[in-house]
Amino acid sequence: MHSKSPIVHGKVLDELGAKYEYDKVQVKKGGLEEYIKSAVAGGVTGFNLTMPHKVDIIPFLKEIDEDAKLFGAVNTVKINDGELYGYNTDAGGLVLSLSMNGFDVKDKNIVILGAGGVSSTIAVKFAVMGAKRIVILNRTPEKAENICSRIDSIRDEFDIMAEVSFGGFEIDTLKSCAGSCDMLLNATPLGMTGVDSDYEDLSFIDCLSNDAFVADLIYSPEKTKFLEYAEEHGHKIMNGYGMLIGQAILADEIYLSQKLDVSELYTKVVG
Cβ neighbors of 17 (< 8 A, separation 6 or more) are none
**Residues composing the chain:** 271
Q: What is the dihedral of CA 94, 251, 192, 149, to 10 degrees?
A: -50
Separation between Cα atoms, residue 69 and residue 85, nearest integer Å? 12
Separation between Cα atoms, residue 209 and residue 220, nearest integer Å? 27
Q: At residue 113, what are phi and psi to the nearest 5 degrees? A: -95, 115
Write down the H helix ranges in 154-261: 171-178, 225-232, 241-256
Separation between Cα atoms, residue 192 and residue 111, nearest integer Å? 20
What number of other Cβ atoms are within 10 A of residue 59's Cβ?
8
Give residue 158's Cα distance to chain centre: 20
Q: Which of 148, 240, 256 is nearest to 191 (CA)?
A: 240
Contact assessment for residue 94 and residue 243, using Cβ atoms and an 8 Å cutoff: yes
What number of other Cβ atoms are within 10 A of residue 242's Cβ?
23
Is 19 a catalytic site residue? no
The residue from 54, 78, 108, 125 that is catalytic is 54
Separation between Cα atoms, residue 98 and residue 185, nearest integer Å? 11
Catalytic residues: 54
